[in-house]
């Protein structure tokens, strides 16, 4: 019973302090000094400053990197090589349409600006693109080593 009385007493005291604190703030009964321009130094309104920053510079290659499969890292693998005891059982052929653009023409739409054909002399281009194109043009004689 004693703990219950203490709890109720503390609860009533907390409510009284909250009421007094809010009323003093609301009715401005606490004297505050006003600055020379007349505004209160303790304003509750937070003004978010508008930072002066330059707009981000768009990277001309960024969109193409997301859209196209441009090589960015030299890959080393044993593609096409299999152990001597392996036997070819079946071949699956996947045909992909165009350079991520349908071969048919969609009426009243324009072709995207991005072109994924690998041309090394077109600007902007990836620094490793020329080496990749020359390597891939060698065909079966090419090796990544």
Per-residue model confidence (pLDDT) at position 21: 84
Per-residue model confidence (pLDDT) at position 49: 62
Per-residue model confidence (pLDDT) at position 47: 64
Per-residue model confidence (pLDDT) at position 74: 64
Q: Are residues 21 and 84 in the same domain?
A: no
Question: Could you tell me if residue 45 is inside a domain?
Answer: no
Per-residue model confidence (pLDDT) at position 84: 80
Per-residue model confidence (pLDDT) at position 40: 57
Residues of the chain with pLDDT under 50: none
DSSP state of 135: H
DSSP state of 20: H
Q: Are residues 83 and 119 in the same domain?
A: yes
Q: Are residues 27 and 75 in the same domain?
A: no
Q: Are residues 73 and 130 in the same domain?
A: yes
Q: Are residues 23 and 76 in the same domain?
A: no
Question: Could you tell me if residue 129 is inside a domain?
Answer: yes
Question: Could you tell me if residue 7 is inside a domain?
Answer: yes
Question: Could you tell me if residue 15 is inside a domain?
Answer: yes
**b/e string for 93-113 if b means 16 or more Cβ within 10 A?**
eeeeeeeeeeeeeeeeeeeee
* Residue numbers of the domain that contains 130: 58-145
Number of folded domains that form the chain:
2
Q: Are residues 21 and 65 in the same domain?
A: no
Question: Could you tell me if residue 99 is inside a domain?
Answer: yes
Q: Are residues 27 and 62 in the same domain?
A: no
Question: Could you tell me if residue 74 is inside a domain?
Answer: yes
Largest CA distance in the chain: 94
How far is Cα 125 from Cα 70, in angstroms, rounded to an integer? 9
CA distances from 79 to 14, 42, 44, 82, 140 (A): 75, 70, 66, 8, 11
How far is Cα 122 from Cα 118, in angstroms, rounded to an integer? 9
């Amino acid at each position: 019973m004693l703990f219950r009385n203490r709890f109720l007493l503390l609860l009533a005291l907390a409510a009284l302090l909250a009421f007094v604190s809010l009323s003093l703030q609301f009715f401005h009964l606490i004297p505050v000094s006003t600055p020379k321009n007349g505004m209160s130094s303790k304003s509750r309104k937070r003004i978010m400053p508008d930072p002066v920053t330059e707009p981000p510079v768009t990277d001309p290659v960024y969109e193409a990197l997301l859209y196209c499969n441009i090589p960015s890292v030299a890959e080393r693998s044993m593609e096409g090589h299999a152990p001597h005891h392996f036997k070819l059982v079946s071949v699956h052929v996947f045909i992909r349409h165009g350079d991520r653009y349908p071969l048919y023409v969609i009426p009243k739409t324009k072709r995207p600006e991005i072109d994924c054909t690998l041309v090394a002399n077109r600007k902007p281009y990836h620094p490793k693109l020329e080496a990749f194109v020359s390597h891939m043009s060698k065909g079966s004689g090419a090796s990544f080593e």
